[in-house]
Amino acid sequence: MKYFITVLFVTFVIVACNVQKSKNNKAAENEKIILQFYEYFNKHEWEKMAGMYTEISDFKDPSLGPGIVKQTRQQIIEKYSGLNEMFPDINDEVIQIYPSADNFIIVEFISTGTAPNGSRFELPICTIFTIENGKIAKDFTYYDNFEDSGPE
């Protein structure tokens, strides 16, 4: 009986360590996906960035209105191409990445750019990404949407 309990305990410890290792690997994979996302964003490679999303993704974004809005990859390309026309030097500086559970990455970043009238903006933003099968399925973005704070 003592032998059985010892084997059971050792098995439990091995399984627990493997589960933790798997979670750490998943978080690292998700973080890599998000870092690639911001690299594409900052290079204004909208097609490549949109390809990181599922065919149809859920968005929460003040610029899209209240609630959850479904967007296709083509709509994502159009949205960011339009944003790029308004702010040709738009850039996001990642401040911190917070992996959460298996599928979530929370990113704190500062978006900067220059408006057509020459005024510069600096907008703190937080986005919660949901990653499913290596693709972004949900993009829930939060920022101050007052007109004097930056782009809408």
Q: What is the pLDDT of residue 88?
A: 96
Fold of the domain built from segment(s) 2-149: Nuclear Transport Factor 2; Chain: A, (3.10.450)
Q: What is the pLDDT of residue 22?
A: 52
Q: Across the 152 residues of the chain, what is the mean pLDDT of every consecutive 10-residue run?
A: 57 50 79 97 98 98 93 98 96 97 96 95 97 97 71 46
What backbone torsions phi and psi does residue 70 show, to the nearest 5 degrees? -85, 140
Q: Locate the domains of the chain by residue range.
A: 2-149
Q: What is the pLDDT of residue 145?
A: 75
Q: What is the pLDDT of residue 6?
A: 58
Q: Name, in order, each residue with C-beta under 8 angstroms of 22's C-beta and a sequence gap of 6 or more.
A: none
Q: What is the pLDDT of residue 3?
A: 63
Q: What is the pLDDT of residue 52?
A: 98
Amino acid type, 17: C
User: How many Cβ atoms from other residues are within 10 Å of residue 97's Cβ?
Assistant: 17
pTM of the model: 0.80
